[in-house]
């Protein structure tokens, strides 16, 4: 997080401000706290009964004519997808899905020779740039319009003006043919309804419609997306859309049930990849997350460094909690310190996850396991020594006061240490 050039005013902050303003307008118009309570209760039911609800969903989805495949981890999930679509390379369209990012599905398919089109505009932009999404619902939140125009101009081989309408138009032109012609569509899910076996997908651009209505539709999603009942959906959708994009409702809400009439062959790959461990342990509350990204736009650190500063697919405050379970290899060991513990994430979370408090707990776990960064351990050691009496306490106090008085000293020590490591 300190190795990149960090401007004072970031595109992320500007975009986050727009979302927060729109969110505030929706919140002011509805009985927000009631919706939050209902959404929280629904998600708590999920984390407390995950296995049973997944079982019920699988049973009902299968009875509806969908094929359900369970995948314990990312590799198994990628294999399951390939088993459904066949090994001969072809064009595949894909709508937005954080789980597919988590398991590296697109890269896996591209290695096998498939041409995969990310059809969500933001996802396509980061695909063109070879980047991870910078936010769970706004993948290109870190980019200015000028940067997007430059990237898309390079990809399309013609100069595009830095105007949102022109850029969206160019994307539609580019994606129209694969959207209409691809035989295989890969999509995600926002919720899975256990009692009916239905899949709920929300979107604004219409691309998910094409992906879910391709001849073969493979839905790749986490088991944690399951909820018990249809009646739990309205408050969840209400808080999700308001928190994610500041909309009272997204443009499209797809409820995918019994296939057949439209000729779609649908398979759903239910990915665990650490989710059961998450809800079984002390961070179970984080399993309630509905991937709205509100904690990110509210977080002062995220607003400054954007998603890529975190090095994980799931960035921001909630990423600090879920990434160690869902992508342990990618999670930096000092991730619990990518937070000022200001509490803005806990305040805004629509399903009342005490994010900041759980991050503080992660720091405690890190301390107990001896993995706290050495600089922090040394500083705390000095503070503890300074609390005592005698010459060593006096020396500790002098050192600490000197560092507090001259912040440049702190930077100097860091530079020296980095130099010694090199």
Partner 1 sequence: MSAPPHRPSRTALFVPCSTAGSFPGDVDAQRRLLSLAGHPGVETFPVFCCGQPAATAGDAEGARAMGRVWAERAKEFDAVFVASATCCGQLRRLLEAEGPLRYAPDAWIETIRARCTLPRVSIYLHRPCHDIWDDARFEAYRRWVADTAGAVPIDRPYNDPCCGFGGVFSTLFDETAGAMVGHRLKAIEKAGASVVVSAEPGCLGHFAAHASTLRVVPLATFLVSRGIA
Q: Which is nearer to partner 1, 113 or 300 (CB)?
A: 300
Q: Does 255 bind partner 1 (CB under 8 A)?
A: no
Q: How far is the CB of 301 from partner 1 (least distance, A)?
A: 7
CA nearest 238: which of 90, 34, 20, 12?
Answer: 34
Under rule CB under 8 A, residue 377 binds partner 1: yes
Residue 352 φ/ψ, nearest 5 degrees: 50, 45
Q: How far apart are CA 57 and CA 200, in angstroms?
A: 12
Q: Which is closer to partner 1, CB of 206 or CB of 412?
A: 412
Residue 354 sits in the site that holds partner 1 (CB under 8 A): no
**CB-wise, 29 or 414, nearer to partner 1?**
414
Tell whether residue 375 is a contact of partner 1 (CB under 8 A).
yes
The residue count for binding partner 1 (CB under 8 A) is 58
Give CA–CA dist 87/93, Å, rounded.
Answer: 16
341 binds partner 1 (CB under 8 A): yes
Angle at 84 between CA 80 and CA 86, to 5 degrees: 110
Among 9, 87, 157, 158, indicate the residue that binds partner 1 (CB under 8 A).
9
Using rule CB under 8 A, residue 29 touches partner 1 = no
Q: Do residues 247 and 352 lie in contact, with contact meaning Cβ atoms separated by under 8 Å?
A: no
Long-range interactions of 149-158: CB distance < 8 A, separation 24+? 151/125, 152/125, 152/128, 154/128, 155/128
What's the rounded Cα separation, in Å, for the pair 95 and 137?
A: 12
> Considering only 49-57, 128-136, 170-178, 294-302, which stretch makes contact with partner 1 by CB under 8 A?
294-302
Contact between 383 and partner 1 (CB under 8 A)?
yes
Phi, psi of 254 (to 5 degrees): -100, 130
Rounded distance between C-alpha atoms, residue 314 and residue 320, angstroms: 8
> Is the distance from CB of 190 to CB of 289 less than 8 angstroms?
no
- Residues 183, 364, 395, 416: which binds partner 1 (CB under 8 A)? 364
Within 112-249, where are the H helices?
121-129, 145-156, 164-181, 207-212, 233-245
Stretch that binds partner 1, among 47-55, 98-106, 313-321, 383-391 (CB under 8 A): 383-391
Stretch that binds partner 1, among 134-142, 143-151, 233-241, 410-418 (CB under 8 A): 410-418
Q: Which is nearer to partner 1, 201 or 298 (CB)?
A: 298
For position 392 contacting partner 1 by CB under 8 A, the verdict is no
Instruction: Report the Cα–Cα distance between both ends of the chain, in Å, rounded.
Output: 18
Give the phi and the psi of residue 272 in degrees, each rounded to 5: -90, -70
Q: Which is nearer to partner 1, 172 or 382 (CB)?
A: 382
CB of 382 to partner 1, least distance (A): 9
Q: Which of 301, 313, 320, 323 binds partner 1 (CB under 8 A)?
A: 301
Sign for the pseudo-dihedral over CA of 389, 393, 395, 401: negative
Check binding of 417 to partner 1 (CB under 8 A). no
Residue numbers at the binding site for partner 1 (CB under 8 A): 1-2, 6-9, 13, 16-17, 20, 298, 300-301, 303-305, 309, 334, 336-344, 360, 362-368, 372-373, 375-377, 379-380, 383-384, 386-387, 393, 397, 400-405, 407, 410-411, 414
């Amino acid at each position: 997080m300190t190795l990149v050039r960090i401007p004072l005013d970031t595109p992320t902050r500007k975009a986050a401000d727009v979302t927060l303003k729109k969110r505030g307008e929706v919140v002011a118009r509805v009985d927000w706290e009631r919706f939050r309570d209902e959404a929280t209760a629904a998600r708590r039911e999920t984390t407390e009964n995950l296995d049973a609800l997944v079982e019920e969903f699988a049973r009902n989805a299968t009875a509806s004519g969908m094929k359900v495949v369970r995948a314990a981890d990312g590799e198994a999930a990628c294999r399951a997808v390939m088993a459904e679509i066949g090994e001969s390379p072809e064009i595949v369209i894909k709508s937005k899905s954080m789980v597919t990012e988590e398991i590296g599905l697109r890269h896996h398919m591209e290695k096998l020779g498939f041409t995969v089109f990310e059809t969500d505009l933001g996802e396509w932009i980061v695909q063109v740039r070879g980047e991870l999404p910078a936010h769970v619902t706004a993948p290109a939140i870190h980019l200015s319009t000028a940067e997007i125009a430059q990237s898309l101009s390079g990809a399309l081989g013609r100069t595009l003006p830095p105007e949102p309408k022109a850029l969206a138009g160019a994307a539609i032109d580019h994606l129209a043919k694969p959207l209409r012609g691809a035989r295989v569509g890969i999509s995600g899910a926002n919720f899975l309804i256990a009692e009916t076996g239905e899949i709920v997908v929300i979107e604004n651009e219409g691309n998910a419609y094409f992906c879910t209505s391709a001849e073969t539709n493979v839905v790749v999603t986490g088991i944690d997306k399951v909820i018990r009942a249809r009646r739990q959906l309205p408050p969840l959708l209400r808080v999700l859309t308001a928190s994610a994009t500041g909309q009272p409702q997204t443009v499209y809400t797809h409820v995918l049930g019994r296939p057949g009439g439209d000729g779609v062959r649908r398979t759903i790959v239910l990915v665990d990849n650490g989710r059961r461990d998450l809800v079984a342990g002390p961070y179970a509350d984080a399993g309630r997350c509905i991937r709205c990204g509100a904690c990110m736009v509210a977080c002062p650190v995220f607003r400054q460094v954007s998603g890529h500063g975190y090095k994980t697919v799931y960035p921001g405050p909630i990423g600090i909690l879920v990434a160690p379970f869902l992508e342990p290899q990618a999670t930096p060991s000092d991730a619990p310190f990518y937070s000022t513990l200001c509490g803005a994430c806990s305040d805004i979370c629509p399903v009342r996850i005490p994010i900041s408090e759980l991050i503080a707990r992660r720091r405690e776990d890190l301390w107990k396991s001896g993995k706290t960064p050495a600089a922090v351990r040394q500083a705390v050691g000095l503070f503890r020594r300074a609390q005592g009496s005698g010459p060593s306490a006096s020396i500790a106090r002098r050192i600490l006061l000197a560092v507090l008085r001259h912040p440049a000293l702190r930077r100097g020590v860091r530079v020296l240490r980095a130099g010694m490591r090199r």
